[in-house]
Chain A
Amino acid sequence: MHLELSEEQRLLADSIERFLRDHYAFERRRELLAGSEPFGRDTWQAFADLGLLALPFAETQGGLGGGAVELLLLAEALGRHLVVEPYFETVILAGGLLAACGGERAAALLEGIQSGAVQGAFAYAERGGGLPESAVATRAQPAAGGWRLAGRKAVVFNGAAADFLLVTASEETEGGAGAPALFLVPGEAPGVHRRPYRTWDGRSACELELAGVELPAEARLFDAAAFAGAWARVRDRALLFLCAEALGGMEGAFAATVEYTKGRVQFGQPLARFQVVRHRLVDMYIQKELARSLVQALAWHLDRDDPAAPRIAAAAKAQLSAAGRFVTENAIQLHGGIAMTDEYHVGHYLKRQAVIDALLGDRAWHLARYRRLADGGALQATETEGGGPWTSS
């Protein structure tokens, strides 16, 4: 059964795959990571030229109005090719929140994002933990007709390259952590200090210090109540994106392992002839296909604005995390020593998978969330009504 794709969706998937195959060989990625640039500016511009940076935005916002299925196709390809460019950070998170906000300033930034000129980051985590909706210690105090931000953000992906940062901060004056509101902070604003580093998955992130950053009144994009609503709209698409990227990673790791074990001869026969290896490959395949079904179902629910979507998203993130780890860990295991090297691509899928697992809630958290959203009930009878997004052709 295949995902039922429109002609346009098929063309989109083909053009992304062709571009990455031709321009994003693993060797090029290695050269990029050996340099000092956080990502490939030329690749980013090519994404813009291909229209990918405008893909998920509504036509009224200058975008192409792509839906969840389009996002899935894109993210899957990015995952398969281990792309380190900050699509998730700039387009999905920062762009998604700006799109939810609306207004002139957001429109200007969105235009910049879509043309490839502007980079964004979403700074929510503190002390290594936390979710966008978590209470934060970073404070926003009213000051001189605007705001004054003070606090520290941890592991801000794409933070160093970002022209603007969307920062969660609490307006509460009392005590410890408070409900987050969202503020737009120019990267070059006085008092913004960034300490950049690379991440294990070949991306870049930074520690962000906000040392009394003075902002105008309109810098607050959402107060606490509005932010909760806005994030809820962005979150499930962001989860879809991460899950689809993980799925792409599983595909890449799996395909490489099948290829390798067919060619590698030990004890006078290809590794893939050993029953243990064959069964492991089949188990990897099973996990990958179970994961694919959930990711595709999630896209389908999202495109229908189905109220079940958040629950499916929790299910998908939890399942993809377990499946992704199983597949990428075993990809290394079945390759042997070669997979523990930097110069061979297969081990890098595991590193990206491990980071994805930690982003926007880990497996345990999503399982708990799933239980909560399912309201303690078992699978609902109507769950799969309509059959899902597949055709049997």
Chain B
Amino acid sequence: MDYGAFRREVRAFLDEALTPRLKRAGQLQTSVFADFEATMEWHRILYRKGWVAPDWPPEYGGTGWDLIQRHIFQEECKLADAPSLLPMGLQMLGPLLIRYGTEAQKAHYLPRILSGEDVWCQGYSEPGAGSDLASLKTRAVRDGDHYVVDGSKIWTSMAHHANRIFCLVRTANTEKPQAGISFLLVDMATPGITVRPIVGLDGRVEQCEVFFDGVRVPVENRVGAENQGWEVAKYLLAFERGGHHFAADHKKQLRRIARILAAEADPEGRLRGEDPDFCARLAAAEVEALALEYTELRVKGGLAAGASPGALSSLIKVAGCEIGQRLDALALEAAGLWCAPFQPEALSPDWTGTPAAPDHALTAMACYVDNRASTIYGGAAEVQRDIMARHLLGL
């Protein structure tokens, strides 16, 4: 495989396909999610190119690329400032359906994920069930060929944009709470669903509360057997944690820092990039990021060979998120007082006003604040460490 040629091919495509507005959306992305419209536009462009789901098996619409190619692709996308695609359909539900879905489910849903016709959100967490997900209370009661769902989900990312939600629901009260959970695919247009957007610390809406009041869901929308949803959900969580490409994120962060360093002075008026103390700390963080990149390649190498990512995905998630948070703190430090202006509207690619901070510092505080969530969602860092202690170290 000539990876150099592959990289050039990807680059040439990105050069041509990424419009200035799409690139802007990528530059202004401060969390897992970029501007929604831009995200979906980019999704459709990649779909038409056949590159929207490189991690899927080719028979379901994947690209057939090897691990290194996929790594290169993600890296090039990030470095070209492409907006991130929504992970809920492509990274979470898709692989899950491929593994556990019925033929009918696969035939119906997978193409719609690929085309972008369906936008999925993930209904796992509840007000009373966060880290302890298995204690979830949203009930699904069988009524003929339907389930009737009552309860509520919280922190549901992008629920205000999604037309579908995959949910964990309680279908039995068993002694072991994990044993009474089922996995349902729900159309957000079903009567009885209401969505309350939640304003984040950054002043924008990404998460929502989703309420279910007598929502009727066809039984055929269940994935896996009744009361077997936990196994299905756990498979998905491993992909949620391990399916992310931290190395590409870190490189983008490092590049953002480099832009600030080239433009901003430290309090003494000396260019930040010439401050040996700062540069030493930055180099240390960069070395950690490099160590993580090779670890990602190592673990994904195992994945490609058919191993389940299992607890190793926890390792990547914890290390990847914590390195990312350190990089954000360094960017914030380099941005100096430019961290202060609060202009959420300036982070929209369509905004035409004059920002209070220069372009290179526009995202520093939002990235720092938003990324605090990365050690909380998808399983808090403390819980991930527990998983590793148990399953990697056998403790």
Contact = CB atoms under 8 A, between A and B. Distances in A.
A200 to B, nearest CB: 5
B341 A362 contact: no
A311 B78 CA distance: 44
B301 interface: no
Interface in A145-167: 154-155, 157
Interface stretch (B99-107, B226-234, B371-379): B371-379
Interface string A100-141: 000000000000000000000000010111110011000000
A169 to B, nearest CB: 16
Interface in B352-384: 354, 356-358, 361, 365, 368-369, 372-373, 375-377, 380-382
A332 B381 CA distance: 12
Interface stretch (B56-64, B128-136, B236-244, B303-311): B128-136
A128 B355 CA distance: 13
Given A134-B268, A343-B199, A277 B336 contact: no
Nearest to B361: A128
B372 A350 contact: yes
A341 B201 contact: yes
Contacts of A387: none
Given A128-B335, A128-B338, A365 B201 contact: no
A358 B382 contact: no
B201 A342 contact: yes
Nearest to A205: B340
Given A199-B340, A201-B340, A333-B375, A130 B200 contact: no
A358 B155 contact: no
A354 B339 contact: yes
Interface string A205-219: 101000000000000
A100 to B, nearest CB: 22
B340 A135 contact: no
Nearest to B131: A266
Contacts of B132: 266-268
Nearest to B376: A336
A357 B341 CA distance: 14
A274 B267 contact: no
A198 B341 CA distance: 6
B27 interface: no
A130 B343 CA distance: 22
Nearest to A347: B201
A359 B199 contact: no
A177 B265 CA distance: 13
Contacts of A339: 201
Most chain-A Cβ atoms within 10 A of its Cβ — which of B129, B132, B264, B337?
Answer: B337
A357 B364 CA distance: 14
A11 to B, nearest CB: 35
Contact of A197 (B268, B342, B377, B380): B342
B203 interface: yes
Given A266-B132, A267-B131, A340-B372, A130 B339 contact: no
Contact of B369 (A128, A130, A343, A351): A351
A337 B125 contact: yes
A205 B357 CA distance: 12
Nearest to B125: A337
Interface residues of A, number: 52
Interface in B111-161: 125, 129-132, 135, 154-155
B332 interface: yes
Contacts of B357: 128
B342 A340 contact: no
Contacts of B373: 337, 340
B340 A337 contact: no
Contacts of B382: 274, 276-277
A364 B278 contact: yes
Contacts of B333: 357, 362-364
B69 interface: no
B277 interface: yes
Interface string A265-308: 01110000010110000000000000000000000000000000
A129 B356 contact: no
Contact of A341 (B198, B264, B336, B365): B198
A131 B207 contact: no
B269 interface: yes
A128 B264 contact: yes
Given A177-B269, A266-B130, A129 B337 contact: yes
Nearest to B377: A337
A336 B339 contact: no
B365 A200 contact: yes
Most chain-A Cβ atoms within 10 A of its Cβ — which of B201, B203, B269, B361?
Answer: B201
Contacts of A207: 356
A246 to B, nearest CB: 15
Contacts of B338: 128, 154-155
A348 interface: yes
Nearest to B329: A325
A382 B205 CA distance: 55
Interface string A318-355: 00000001000100110011011111000110110011
A23 interface: no
B362 to A, nearest CB: 11
Given A266-B131, A267-B131, A358-B339, A365 B376 contact: no
Chain A to chain B: the 10 pairs with minimum beta-carbon distance, closest first:
A128-B338, A266-B132, A342-B199, A347-B201, A199-B340, A155-B337, A200-B342, A337-B155, A365-B267, A267-B132
10 contacts: A129-B337, A195-B354, A267-B131, A268-B132, A274-B382, A337-B125, A337-B155, A340-B200, A341-B198, A364-B277
